[in-house]
């Protein structure tokens, strides 16, 4: 229990004094996960919309695979990305291993199936509702997808938040491809793992509290942004 209180005290202290190292690590966490989230949404949302409106032979298979990949172990993703980006790997020449870019790629792969699956659920429901109308209006495939994505934007926000939550708290993949290098690829979760390993529980806890606070802050901000556009806009 001493450790918990000590952790709280230190966390408070680190935040209150705007500890530069903590700020650097937290901002890096935020930057990497938000980048991964934006890229993941660019892939996952159109994919989810396509799966909702288009009937093709392997549709069910793709959906089943996406659902299965939701539980993808990040460590394995990290390993695969590591192999691909390592010097002797197919993309080794890019020199991306142990850079924030590699971490963004790995996190993106971890959260794409999650976002796509959750988004697909709500888009499919909405498509069921809109189907007759949009078919009657003879709209193109692209117009169908855009209509669904726009009208389901609230639910999609929730999907994105779930993706953010999984990304910001993820450690296995980014530890492997990032290497937890001080001032380069160290983020909150990898720092926590490091401090815990060193027996610095108080500091690890402090970082953990900051991580939680960050996650809550981002959730609240995005929700608040969603609220402000509530009334009809043109």
Partner 1 sequence: MSELFPLSVKGAVTRRHGKVLVGPVDLELDGAGTCVILGPNGAGKTSLLRLLHGTARLHAGEITWGCGTEAARNAQAFVFQRPVMLRRSVGENLAYPLRLRGTPRTEARARARDWAARVGLSGLFDRQATVLSGGEQQKLATARALIGDPGLLFLDEPTASLDGRATREMEEILAKARANGTRLVLSTHDMGQARRLADRVIFLLGGKVHEEGAAEGFFSAPRTPEAQAFLKGDIVE
Q: State in Å, rounded, how far the first CA of the chain is from the last one.
A: 55
Distance from C-alpha of 226 to C-alpha of 212, rounded to nearest angstrom = 21
Choice between 75 and 139, CB closer to partner 1: 139
Choice between 154 and 198, CB closer to partner 1: 154
| CA-based torsion, 146, 66, 108, 85: positive or negative | negative
Choice between 224 and 234, CB closer to partner 1: 234
Choice between 126 and 218, CB closer to partner 1: 126
Find the shortest distance in angstroms from Cβ 30 to partner 1: 32
Per-residue exposure over 36-62, b if at least 16 CB sit within 10 Å of its own CB, e if not: bbebbbeebbbbbbbbbbeeeeeeeee
Choice between 4 and 133, CB closer to partner 1: 133
Find the shortest distance in angstroms from Cβ 177 to partner 1: 40
Find the shortest distance in angstroms from Cβ 139 to partner 1: 6
Footprint on this chain of partner 1 (rule: CB under 8 A):
126, 129-130, 132-133, 135-139, 143, 147, 151-152, 231-232, 234
């Amino acid at each position: 229990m001493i450790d918990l209180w000590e952790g709280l005290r230190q966390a408070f202290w680190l935040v209150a004094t705007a500890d530069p190292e903590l700020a650097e690590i937290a901002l890096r966490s935020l930057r990497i996960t938000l980048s991964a989230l934006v890229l993941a949404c660019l892939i996952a949302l159109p994919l989810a919309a396509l799966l909702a409106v288009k009937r093709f032979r392997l549709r069910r298979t793709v959906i089943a695979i996406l659902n299965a990949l939701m539980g993808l172990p990040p460590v394995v993703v990290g390993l695969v990305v590591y192999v691909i980006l390592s010097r002797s790997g197919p993309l080794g020449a890019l020199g991306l291993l142990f850079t924030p870019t590699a971490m963004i790629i790995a996190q993106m792969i971890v959260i794409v199936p999650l976002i796509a699956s959750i988004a697909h659920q709500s888009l499919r429901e909405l498509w069921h509702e809109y189907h007759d109308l949009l078919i009657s209006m003879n709209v193109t495939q692209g117009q169908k997808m855009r209509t669904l994505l726009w009208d389901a934007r609230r639910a999609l926000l929730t999907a994105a938040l779930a993706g953010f939550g999984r990304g910001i708290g993820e450690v296995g993949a980014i530890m492997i491809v990032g290497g937890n290098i001080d001032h380069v690829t160290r983020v909150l979760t990898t720092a926590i793992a490091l401090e815990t390993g060193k027996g610095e529980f108080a500091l690890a806890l402090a970082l953990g509290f900051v991580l939680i606070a960050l996650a809550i802050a981002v959730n609240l901000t995005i929700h608040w942004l969603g609220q402000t556009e509530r009334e009809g806009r043109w």
